[in-house]
Amino acid sequence: DTGVSQDPRHKITKRGQNVTFRCDPISEHNRLYWYRQTLGQGPEFLTYFQNEAQLEKSRLLSDRFSAERPKGSFSTLEIQRTEQGDSAMYLCASTHPGTTYEQYFGPGTRLTVT
């Protein structure tokens, strides 16, 4: 257990539905990252926050995806109108201000779109 928690751990949804995932980073960590990982591939960067500011978004983050970190603590990732191609593991990571090279990953949320 790294101290980063994600909820839910598993989500099954029907195509077209909206889903929201939550990430709670380690409390003093100011950077928070979201990744997506499909079977057999490494994690793909989606976006990251420094405190409440979203500083970078990948081209993978289509208009259907939105992430927030309103108070610089927990973050949410919402996917609207889910598609089967959204099925993946969604990982969250955070870093301490002094050691930003070491990302602490949560256990992930596995999304299955049927």
Partner 1 sequence: DAKTTQPPSMDCAEGRAANLPCNHSTISGNEYVYWYRQIHSQGPQYIIHGLKNNETNEMASLIITEDRKSSTLILPHATLRDTAVYYCIVRVNNDMRFGAGTRLTVKP
Binding residues for partner 1 (CB under 8 A): 2, 4, 31, 33, 35, 40-45, 48, 56, 91, 93, 95, 100-108
Shortest Å distance, C-beta 103 to partner 1: 6
C-alpha span between 85 and 61 (Å, rounded)? 13
Shortest Å distance, C-beta 9 to partner 1: 11
Q: Select 40 or 85, whichever has its Cβ closest to partner 1.
A: 40
Q: Select 14 or 98, whichever has its Cβ closest to partner 1.
A: 98
| Sign of the torsion angle spanned by Cα atoms 50, 39, 18, 109 | negative
C-alpha span between 94 and 102 (Å, rounded)? 8
Shortest Å distance, C-beta 91 to partner 1: 5
Shortest Å distance, C-beta 48 to partner 1: 6
Q: Select 56 or 83, whichever has its Cβ closest to partner 1.
A: 56
Q: Select 22 or 31, whichever has its Cβ closest to partner 1.
A: 31
CB 96 within 8 A of CB 28: yes
C-alpha span between 109 and 61 (Å, rounded)? 17
Closest CA to 94 of 20, 6, 11: 6
